[in-house]
Amino acid sequence: MRIATYNVNGVNGRLRVLLRWLKEAAPDIACLQELKAPQEKFPEGPIRDLGYDVVWHGQKSWNGVAILSRVGNIHETRRGLPGDPDDSHSRYIEAAVNGILIACLYLPNGNPRPGPKFDYKLRWFDRLIGHAAELVACKQPVVLAGDFNVMPTELDVYKPERWLDDALFAPEARAAYATLLKQGWTDALRARHPREKIYTFWDYFRNAFGRTQACASTTFC
């Protein structure tokens, strides 16, 4: 089964690219982040037309997460992490699909650091760690997929020394990610490429991804 994750940065602004990607890559399950659309503005029709069942948690302007499946109906198990009833951000949705529990997450960016946004990031990370501990204990197949907004190691970014003050490379954020992994999760990338310099983060300014990949079809083309 192919399970993919994609930060769309605006599900309506990026809809043509999203639909093309779903057709070409044809993931069995896809997790989307940064919908930037209220619940009623999610493009459900075009996605269902491609054969996907879908659940989503929208929000005006910011955030928003969705799970798509073309391998069986989606049974939503949770939206929002436990631990803070006042948290209004749409950043977590979870569902059972074809015998697998899928958690789609959009962890807070946390910049600037220090500041209240960074504090929120660390609190959200702690809540994720708490809930993830329960998921691990379930002893059934579980996938955490999404945008973790963390550079776990110096292998994950071009010139890590430039990011020492950034919330994504902060010691606290990297430690939180390590704590999460130690619960028993398998890092899908590092299980296969433990020592390889593979960027899991690109600066989206200055078309960093497109310039690095020397690729004719980035999301911005």
Partner DNA sequence: ATGCCAGTCGTAGACTGA
CB of 183 to DNA, least distance (A): 25
Residue number with CB closer to DNA (100 or 128): 128
Residue number with CB closer to DNA (98 or 109): 109
Helix (H) or strand (E) holding 76: strand 74-79
Residue corresponding to tokens 């970014």: 157
- Contact set with DNA (CB under 7 A): 9-14, 36-38, 60-63, 108-109, 111-112, 117, 162, 165, 203-207, 220
Residue number with CB closer to DNA (186 or 207): 207
Distances (CA, A) of 184 to 5, 8, 15, 80, 88: 21, 29, 36, 22, 29
CB of 213 to DNA, least distance (A): 14
CB of 89 to DNA, least distance (A): 8
CB of 158 to DNA, least distance (A): 11
Residue number with CB closer to DNA (29 or 31): 31
Q: Strand 100-106 to strand 29-33: parallel, antiparallel, or no bridges (unpaired)?
A: unpaired
Q: Could you tell me the maximum CA-CA distance found in the chain, to the nearest angstrom?
A: 46
For residue 111, give the nearest of 126, 125, 98, 121 by alpha carbon: 121
Q: Side chain identity at 3, as an amino acid letter?
A: I
